[in-house]
């Protein structure tokens, strides 16, 4: 386990940008001049398989040990995914969104492939300090990958990339020179970045106290046991939160919007 949230998030960020070069370019674009304050992260997200060795709870342990608390529960019926979000008592520390794929609801062939992957992973991996950015612990063929994405893009992404931050999220509320998510999107499009348009460029809005947008994942050449393929890696998200009638800033997630954000790792 990491001893501080700073050391954990900086290790996660370094791993994430190593396969998501667009995130580093966007980070620089939004941060602006060198004297401006750092970009604040709204949340970081992780994916896993809902199997004994890899359950969401194993990832959550690393955050609970750093003082995080479980807050919201989410269900994505069509994608067969369950999720939870976690918050830290220090509001400047990013929230965490962890989802898990309900493997037992998939076809026999998809279940067979996923079980064969997870069997190759020693159970003790989840306890390692670097577990949350340790990548893949199994051999995966291009054919197994293709078979998985034909039933679940999420399953294919997780099989190919393993354990790591799936995305970081810029808090638009904390940007200096930009006030709205729409302005962030315009800036990104002008710079040539491709946004996820599933469900509209902006998912949610003031009425649900959370507006979100994201890039489409970078294309990255990934090695498989029998060759390599250009596949989607990770994406970057942008979130603007609004004040609720009780005067507090909304801290949860919105299922209908999240359902579309997942599609940022679909093939373009
Ligand atoms: C998570 C998608 C949901 C959000 O902010 O609503 C999400 C994922 O793609 O793993 O991050
Ligand atoms: Ni997100």
Q: For 67-90, how does the pLDDT look when each residue is reduced to its tens digit (9 = 90+)?
A: 999 999 999 999 999 999 999 999
Domain definitions of the chain by residue range: 5-265
User: What is the pTM (predicted TM-score) of this model?
Assistant: 0.98
- Confidence at residue 33, expressed as pLDDT on a 0 to 100 scale: 67
Q: For 216-246, how does the pLDDT look when each residue is reduced to its tens digit (9 = 90+)?
A: 999 999 999 999 999 999 999 999 999 999 9
Q: For 193-206, how does the pLDDT look when each residue is reduced to its tens digit (9 = 90+)?
A: 999 999 999 999 99
CATH 3.10.129.10 for the 5-265 domain, yes or no: no
Locate the DSSP E strands across the chain: 41-49, 69-76, 81-87, 95-101, 167-171, 203-205, 210-214, 219-224, 227-232, 235-241
| Helix residue ranges, H only, 66-180 | 108-119, 142-151, 153-161
- Confidence at residue 2, expressed as pLDDT on a 0 to 100 scale: 86
d(CA 14, CA 22): 13
Nearest atom of ligand 1 to the alpha carbon of 46: 10
Atom 1 of ligand 1, residue of closest alpha carbon: 262
Q: What is the chain's length?
A: 268
Assess whether pLDDT exceeds 60 at residue 35. Answer: no
Q: How far is the CA of 43 from the centre of ligand 2 (A)?
A: 6
d(CA 267, CA 218): 10
Neighbours of ion ligand 2 (CB under 5 A): 45, 237
Please tell me if the CB atom of residue 147 comes closer than 6 angstroms to any atom of ligand 1. Answer: no
Nearest atom of ligand 1 to the alpha carbon of 166: 10
User: Which tokens belong to 114?
Assistant: 């996923």
Report percent pLDDT > 70 for the chain.
98
Element (H, E) at 17: helix 5-19
Q: For 97-144, how does the pLDDT look when each residue is reduced to its tens digit (9 = 90+)?
A: 999 999 999 999 999 999 999 999 999 999 999 999 999 999 999 999
């Amino acid at each position: 386990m990491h001893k501080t949230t700073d050391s954990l998030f900086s290790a996660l960020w370094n791993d994430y940008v190593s396969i998501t070069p667009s995130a580093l370019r966007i980070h620089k674009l939004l941060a602006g001049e060198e004297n401006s304050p750092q970009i604040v992260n709204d949340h970081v997200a992780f994916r896993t398989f809902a199997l004994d060795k890899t359950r969401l709870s194993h990832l959550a342990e690393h955050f609970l040990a750093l003082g995080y608390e479980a807050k919201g529960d989410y269900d994505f019926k069509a994608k067969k995914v369950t999720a939870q979000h976690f918050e830290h008592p220090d509001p400047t520390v990013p929230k965490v969104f962890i989802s898990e794929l309900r493997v037992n609801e998939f076809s026999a062939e998809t279940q067979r492939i996923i079980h064969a992957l997870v069997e190759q992973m020693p159970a003790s991996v989840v306890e390692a300090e670097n577990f949350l950015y340790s990548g893949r612990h199994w051999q995966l063929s291009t054919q197994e990958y293709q078979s998985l994405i034909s039933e679940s893009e999420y399953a294919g992404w997780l099989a190919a990339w393993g354990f790591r931050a799936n995305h970081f999220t810029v808090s638009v509320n904390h940007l200096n020179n930009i006030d709205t998510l729409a302005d962030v999107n315009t800036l990104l499009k002008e710079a040539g970045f491709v946004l996820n348009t599933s469900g509209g460029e902006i998912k949610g809005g003031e009425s649900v106290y959370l507006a979100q947008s994201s890039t489409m994942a970078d294309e990255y050449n990934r090695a498989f046991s029998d060759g390599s393929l250009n596949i989607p890696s990770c994406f970057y998200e942008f979130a603007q939160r609004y004040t609720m009638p009780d005067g507090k800033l909304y801290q949860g997630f919105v299922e209908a919007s999240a359902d579309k954000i997942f599609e940022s790792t679909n093939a373009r």
